[in-house]
Amino acid sequence: MALPFPISDSRRRVHLVGSLPPDIAPDAVSGMRWVLEHSGNAELTALPCDVDPNWIIDYLLARAEVPGLETAKSGDGSSYATMPVYRVRSGHRLTTDDIALGRPPEVAAAVAARRRLDAGPPVQVSVPSSLDLSIFTLGVGQTPRFHAVFEQMVISEVTRIAQSHGSEVTFQLESPAVLYVMHRAPAAARRAAARLLAHQLARLITAAPRSARWTLHLCYGDLGHHALFRPAGLRSAVQVINALATRLRHVGHPLPAMHIPLAHGDQPPSSSATSYAPLRDLTRGVEVIAGCVDEHHPELSARALRHTEAALGQPVAAVAAACGHGRRTPEEARLNLELAERLAQSVPARRPAGIR
């Protein structure tokens, strides 16, 4: 498929945000092999290892079997309105065992699959923010009381994985809650909210071994391929990223790559250059992954990439879809990956003179 942009020797990479359609990834080996076979000449940031796009939904539904929890709101997890919510039983002290994700054995199997394929890129481990996981499991009201247990659990699992597998893995910290909180906060409170959210994200990143490599995946949610809310623009993402960069630099910690969604749900990227203007204020030195790849709108995807790089004044580190491929059809996933490869090789845009 011809696209309306020239090709260059750009070193942008291709980033796969998360899961793949179940039909092409019934297991880790099949999923990784599919990615390697369909990525062409693209340089991949990592190999996703989640074979179930609904693994977080399954996690939430499974909390109903935990003796220390009881159902506060029933739901089958088929939509945002039908998510189950739990509460801690009276007299029970919540423990990390009650809420464990169980990622270490899953990642060990994925690393073994990578070795079987003799693949170069590391395994990408999806890590939900402890704030998101607490809110999803117990609701907003109980989160202040129990969030520390979720944080302890996430840090423990990440540490075990990092110590066991070293450079064979990379972590993707995922948080739709960050942009949702920013969306709901009054305009006057968003700068303070960004600092608080960045502090929470930084605690997870800095608690892991320093050698651990991270990507931050900001997200608008994608359940049923629909966003949790309609974003007002990129200003909130920029505020959170800048606050996180400030926090991490203050403690001398390397910055993660930052995946910024430029589309949401089934909606394509904006075609207007003004939509990308907030990116001019992004702190320097951040590796940006442009979440602009929409296989149904290749021209808009290309335009979004050009507008993003013009606003940043430099090429992005990688291109990606706005969220994972797990809720796409196999054909859509293939087209998205092919488009990502072509966008990664397109000529980078230059910032117009006079724009800092």
Kindly indicate whether the domain formed by 13-51+96-344 is annotated with CATH number 3.20.20.210.
yes
Q: Would you state the pLDDT for residue 350?
A: 55
pLDDT at 240 over 50: yes
Within 8 A by CB and 6+ apart from 96, the residues are: 149, 152, 153, 156
pLDDT reading at 104 higher than 80 = yes
pLDDT value, residue 49: 87
pLDDT digits (tens, 9 = 90+) for 128-144: 999 999 999 999 999 99
> Whole-angstrom Cα distance, residue 22 to residue 39?
18
pLDDT for the residue numbered 98: 98
Tens digit of each residue's pLDDT (9 = 90 or more) over 295-353: 999 999 999 999 999 999 999 999 999 998 988 999 999 999 999 999 999 977 554 43
Contact 262, 290 (CB under 8 A): yes
**Which pLDDT belongs to residue 164?**
97
Beta strand pairing call for 169-175 and 214-218: parallel
The pLDDT > 90 percentage for the chain reads: 83
Share of the chain above pLDDT 70, in %: 95
Residues 6+ away with beta carbon under 8 Å from 44 = 13, 14, 15, 16, 35, 120, 121
In sequence order, the β-bridge partners of residue 14 are 44, 319
**Lowest-confidence pick of 5-14, 81-90, 111-120, 331-340:** 5-14
Instruction: Name the one residue in this structure whose structure tokens are 């502090």.
Output: 199
Instruction: Give the H or E element holding residue 110.
Output: helix 103-117
pLDDT at 354: 36
Q: Is the pLDDT of residue 5 over 80?
A: no
pLDDT at residue 1 is higher than 70: no
Instruction: Decide: residue 154, CB within 10 A, 0-12 exposed, 13-18 middle, 19+ buried.
Output: buried
pLDDT bracket for residue 266 (50, 70, 90) = confident
